[in-house]
Structure 1
Amino acid sequence: MSDASPPPAAADAETPAPNADQNRSLWGDVRYQLVRSPLFWISSVMVLVILTMAFVPQLWASTPPTARGACDLLNAREKPSAEHWFGYTASGCDMWASVVYGTGKSVIVAILVTIGTVLLGVTLGTLAGYFGGFTDTVISRITDDFFGLPFILGALVFLAIFPDRNIWTITLVLTLFGWTSLTRVMRGSVIATKQADYVDAARAVGAGHFFIIRRHIISNSIAPVVVLATIGLGSFIGAEATLTYLGVGYQRPTVSWGLLVAEGQNLALAGFWHLLVIPASFIVVTVLSFILLGDALRDALDPRHR
């Protein structure tokens, strides 16, 4: 009598191979999508260059424009040349060194504001979305009140109150007016997440509110906030430069992109185009870099964009 059992090779052929895509977690899938995204790599390199300029400017320009003897009025407004590709500022400082050392003032403020707005937005949005009821009503009404204040106008008025405008005062004011969008996004995400089966299962076994929020709610709701915060970081860089340009941000002798733009706006019409175009270009490229990085994160976190 012959053996009717299939040969081992045939049995293995009929068994479907495990799908690696199904075994990845949410953030594992995000990493997988980002590694395959050219937009992510391009924007990441641009952001890395900007961050090194902000935190290690010596790698890009050895002499800061505020150093003794770094500026010479004889070179004031000199246009770009073969020896100095970016020319000189209105004060006779090297334009390249000025924009490099001015990067830190804008980027550090934007990072601090982003951290502050994320902490506020995640905390308030989680409380409003998870507990609902009276807590949600109070937080939502406060958020609506701040939404009614124009961002730049409100920051302009509040910064004018401070006699000394530095990194901390600018960060405080921008954080005060910048947390509302993150709060609303986090609230909506938490409301959707708390209805999931695994949250009901955690409640059924007696898990407390703090454990559920820490273990399930925040980790599964924060993805849209990460995307919005990355894009917002670039917006805060532009906001700081705008406020400085309007005269309520950094003041001399601080080196800042907004101050360079303010100094070059009138001289550009006189033929010294580089005094305005170069610092403005750095602002545009920096903001665009963080927006592109946010778009890459959005595409990786949202399967509908793939």
Structure 2
Amino acid sequence: MNPYIDRVLPFDWQAAAQLPSETFDAVYSFERAPSAAGLVDRIHATHKAGLAYGGPHNSLYAIGAAARHFFLMNTWNDYRTRRNTKTWTELYFEVAGYRYDGEPYVLRVPPAADGRVRALLADGTDMPRVCLNVGGSLPTKIWPVRHWLSLGTTLREQGYQLVITGGPTDRSVCERLHQELSGDGAHSRSVRYAQLSIEEFAALPAHCDVIVSGDSFGFHLALAHERPCVLLLGPSSGAEVIPKHVTTVTALRSSSACSPCAHQVACGGVGGCMDTIEPDDAFTAVGGLLARRGAVHRSHP
């Protein structure tokens, strides 16, 4: 869904074996994992920038002065959580030798996928539509199911239409929310869920008024479509992911003293900081974003 990408090689042993046999003009490395960063020195390229692994100390190191800040972000936790004010996008631009000027995401959804999403949501209702994106790349980023149920129930009772989404690993949670919020079909018009392809998932935010999401792929899709988003932040830092020029994101942060932790968790990985973000606050944030868009619902003057 990006016309500027000619080829994608998923990172596996086959790609790792193939890349050192190819030649490139430039290599930009944004991954700190030794298995990926260790490839950089073995790839033939005229120009390299970012992170590499190995060298005289068998460790991660920065290639060039422009990657120094990026290196510290990936190796020094306090620097990342307390001192950094740059988003990942700004840092990627800097490493590559460019200045970030708020360039938008490039996303071109196939028309067929967009049409299928339109058909899924078509019901003739004029209710404001809120997407509940329950997924997260790490367990510590995931909002508790009980909070999603509480928020969904309040939104539904106030006359909002809900669209439930998540990744392949979130299917059981999505199905549970759909079943409990739709009330065995009693609220079928106001609660929608279907298993979506990646293209359909990418199309969905364009058809919603507000997205509620953790720090995940769904949040970046909201940015790509310039849709208002309530962002739930536990271990993640908002400074890393919310572009400074974007005014359509309301971030709700954990009240835990150790948040954000950049996922180097004092809790041992069991989570808990997302639990402190209250459903009532998320509901208020949804209403505030709708009001700013001029899509004020009749129950919320």
**Structure that is richer in strand per residue:** 2
- The structure having more radius of gyration, on CA atoms, is 1
Relative to the length of structure 2, the TM-score reads: 0.24
Relative to the length of structure 1, the TM-score reads: 0.24
Q: Whose RCO is larger (CA < 8 A, sep 6+)? A: 1
**Structure that is richer in helix per residue:** 1
